[in-house]
Chain A
Amino acid sequence: MESRLIEILGSGCAKCEMLAKHAEQAAQELGLDYAVIKLKDPAVWARYGVMATPALVVDGQLKVQGRVLSAEKLKELIA
């Protein structure tokens, strides 16, 4: 089974929770072995070059920032 490290960058706001939920759903539907980590430290966001939260990082790569995509769209980014 393939594995993914999914990082959600955000302050814990409602949109961040929604993005985390959608990402988890996408990973489940893809049948991946995954872990979701929420990063709340702005210094860490800066290292990824993020200027709008929430942002999604998969295996160390920034995929999308400032938008809450649907689980369906996130599948393409996480797969």
Chain B
Amino acid sequence: MTTDWRTGRKPQLIVLLSLLGAAAWWLVYRSLEPFASWFAFSLLGLSSGSPLGSAVAFFVFEAPKVLMLLALVVFGVGIVRSFFTPERTRRMLAGRRESAGNVLAALLGVVTPFCSCSAVPLFIGFVTTGVPLGVTFSFLISAPMVNEIALVLLFGLFGWKVAALYAGTGLVIAVAAGWIIGQLKLEHWVEGWVYQSGFGSAAASADAPLTWSERVEQGREAVRDIVGRVWPYVLAGIAVGAAIHGWVPQDFMASIMGKGAWWSVPLAVIIGVPMYSNAAGIIPIVQALLEKGAALGTVLAFMMSVIGLSLPETIILRKVLRPPLIATFVGVVAAGILVVGYVFNLVL
């Protein structure tokens, strides 16, 4: 039996504990729905047809469900991400051509750990070491937009189809927008000092291979960090969703944000771009809109423009990009989101 010298724990023990944990998770998850009905209708004695009854049952079911899904996925993604450091992604993208490079960058944007506060050093690291500008943008667009929190919440509340639609179209926008920016040859709108700054290779030394227990530890770290940060938004969001579920009349939004209103998609994007919220904060609004008759394309467009394009991120990027390039970036991505919104409203 080998012992992991870094933690002193036996790998077999870790596997056994993980299996037990997974089984417990599944059992609790399966009993959430009967528990919620029992809690609202038997324990509290609410009527299942009443607004209050359906709101309470909704909240008691959805809140733990979404938090459990979030913890599980964030843990899994944390482990996956321990294989993809920004440094490694940079090496994979350096010297790539456009097209294939845009696709690879958009995909790596999903799995590479990224925080918009690190957009500047990441941008410098990419463009000074041979990653083409357009490929860099494909990464910078997909990384915030297609993220695990958005996908989990979409999956948990609306099912896998909406989650897959969101991820798929987000990737397409990242690939296309990055490709277009690359074709426009806008390198002269990057601040001059960026290309002059030498990029050190010291990073490789801090990039030593990890053991499995270190990866598991990174997964746990991600759960503590992300779930610890977003749970109040999730609860607040589900509370709003529950209230709407119970009280707001069906099809309330249909006339304003339904398929018939052609101007609803651009309006959703115009409102969404300057708004900044994490995925957890936006989902309740999305939930409310969808349930009351808003069209899916309009709602996806709204969500993408809130999460994918944000005012703080563009302000941060101003350090390395001249205003015309920022405007082009926002314009191209917003146009992509518009197209997605219209296409979904037409097709679905």
Give the B-binding residues of A (Cβ under 8 A): 11, 13, 15, 42-43, 45-53, 61-67
CB <8 Å contact, A42 and B319: yes
CB <8 Å contact, B200 and A48: yes
Q: Which residues of B contact A66 (CB under 8 A)?
A: 85-86, 113, 115, 118
> Which listed residue, A42, A43, A51, touches B87 by the CB 8 Å rule?
A51
**Which of A43, A45, A66 gathers most chain B CB within 10 Å?**
A66
Residue of B nearest to A57 (CB): B202
CB <8 Å contact, B118 and A52: yes
Cβ of B27 to closest chain A Cβ, rounded Å: 32
Interface stretch of the complex, out of B30-38, B44-52, B119-127: B119-127
Q: Which residues of B contact A50 (CB under 8 A)?
A: 121, 125, 200, 203
Give the 9 A-B CB pairs with smallest separation, nearest first.
A49-B200, A49-B203, A51-B125, A51-B86, A62-B202, A46-B197, A43-B197, A49-B202, A52-B118
CB <8 Å contact, B202 and A53: no
Residue of A nearest to B124 (CB): A46
Q: How far is the CA of A19 from the CA of B221 in the complex (A)?
A: 15
Q: How far is the CA of A46 from the CA of B127 in the complex (A)?
A: 11
> Which listed residue, A46, A63, A67, touches B125 by the CB 8 Å rule?
A46
Given contacts A48-B202, A49-B202, A62-B206, could you give 6 more A-B pairs where the C-beta distance is less than 8 Å?
A11-B117, A46-B125, A47-B197, A47-B200, A49-B204, A63-B206
Cβ of A13 to closest chain B Cβ, rounded Å: 5
Q: Which residues of A contact B3 (CB under 8 A)?
A: none
Q: Does B333 contact A (CB under 8 A)?
A: no
Cβ of B35 to closest chain A Cβ, rounded Å: 36
CB <8 Å contact, A45 and B113: no
Q: Does B7 contact A (CB under 8 A)?
A: no
Residue of A nearest to B126 (CB): A51
Q: Which B98-132 residues have a C-beta within 8 angstroms of A?
A: 113, 115, 117-118, 120-122, 124-126, 128
Q: Does B198 contact A (CB under 8 A)?
A: yes
Q: Which residues of A contact B203 (CB under 8 A)?
A: 48-51, 62, 65
Give the A-binding residues of B (Cβ under 8 A): 85-87, 90, 113, 115, 117-118, 120-122, 124-126, 128, 193, 197-206, 221, 316, 319-320
Cβ of B328 to closest chain A Cβ, rounded Å: 21
CB <8 Å contact, B122 and A51: yes
Q: How far is the CA of A61 from the CA of B128 in the complex (A)?
A: 21
Q: Which residues of A contact B204 (CB under 8 A)?
A: 49
Q: How far is the CA of A53 from the CA of B117 in the complex (A)?
A: 7
> Which listed residue, A46, A53, A61, touches B118 by the CB 8 Å rule?
A53
CB <8 Å contact, B198 and A46: yes
> Which listed residue, B86, B198, B199, touches A52 by the CB 8 Å rule?
B86
CB <8 Å contact, A52 and B113: yes
Q: Which residues of B contact A45 (CB under 8 A)?
A: 121, 124
Q: Which residues of B contact A65 (CB under 8 A)?
A: 203, 206
Q: Which residues of B contact A67 (CB under 8 A)?
A: 221
CB <8 Å contact, B118 and A47: no
Q: How far is the CA of A77 from the CA of B173 in the complex (A)?
A: 41
CB <8 Å contact, A46 and B206: no
Q: Which residues of B contact A52 (CB under 8 A)?
A: 86, 113, 115, 118, 121-122
